[in-house]
Amino acid sequence: MDFKLIWSESSIEDLGGIVRFIALRDGSQMARQIGFGIYDRAQVLTRHPEAGSVLAEKQDARWRKLIFKSWKIAYRIDREARVVYVVRVWHAARNEIDIQ
């Protein structure tokens, strides 16, 4: 049985900001490719929730991250509820980000 994938409000805002920034800098086609690429990468979590590595900021196996190109996708696994929560998305050049 697959896990349900839920994007937090912060992660949706992060993804929107990434797409807007890339659209201004590199055009709408590149922005779509990156936006859908991040989204598609996260979809793997519905079948393989532990695909990412443990998130250094949390040091807790329930908190993990996936990488897509230069972006980190932070997420939390709730095994009992069979839910993966995408909590933030950010560029790897940004060392730290607030993760709740």
Q: CA–CA distance from 83 to each of 4, 16, 45 (Å)? A: 5, 22, 9
Q: What is the pLDDT along the chain (100 residues), one digit of tens a residue?
A: 799 999 999 999 999 999 999 999 999 999 999 999 999 999 999 999 999 999 887 889 999 999 999 999 999 999 999 999 999 999 988 766 667 6
pLDDT score for 97: 67
The domain limits of the chain are 4-91
Q: CA–CA distance from 5 to each of 46, 81, 99 (Å)? A: 6, 11, 17
Per CATH, the architecture of 4-91 is what?
2-Layer Sandwich (3.30)
Q: How far apart are CA 75 and CA 99, in angstroms?
A: 9
- This prediction's pTM: 0.91
